[in-house]
């Protein structure tokens, strides 16, 4: 198994080494894979705050889009992360 990544992702100086690694991992997952912070915590050594910090860093750099899911009454019922190379 292998993953092909655009070199610009790996060389993006805006990102920390941790963010580059997490992004490479997320981009290697199947298209229908769900990003779960708890799962990332178990797979790595960043801890809860570290994982959320990296996810925020990736959002600010534009690699992740975060969307809250609301019911008809407007209450938050969940959230989705959308990951892309661009």
pLDDT by position in tens, the chain (length 86)? 788 888 888 899 999 999 999 999 999 998 888 888 888 999 989 999 999 999 999 999 999 998 888 999 989 888 888 998 87
Predicted confidence at residue 77, as pLDDT, reads: 86
pTM of the model: 0.83
Where does residue 16 fall: left (phi above 0), alpha (psi -120 to 50 degrees), or beta otherwise? Answer: beta
Closest to 25 in 3D by CA, of 60, 46, 14, 72? 46
CA angle 12, 17, 22 (to 5 degrees): 90
CA dist 34 and 80 (Å) reads: 8
67's CB contacts (< 8 A; 6+ apart) are 79, 80, 82
């Amino acid at each position: 198994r292998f993953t092909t990544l655009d070199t610009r992702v790996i060389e993006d100086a805006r990102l920390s080494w941790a963010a580059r690694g997490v992004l490479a991992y997320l981009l290697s997952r199947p298209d229908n894979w769900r990003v779960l912070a708890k799962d990332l915590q178990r797979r790595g050594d960043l801890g809860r705050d570290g994982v959320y910090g990296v996810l925020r860093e990736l959002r600010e750099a534009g690699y992740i889009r975060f969307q809250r899911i609301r019911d008809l009454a407007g209450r938050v019922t969940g959230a989705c992360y959308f990951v892309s190379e661009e």
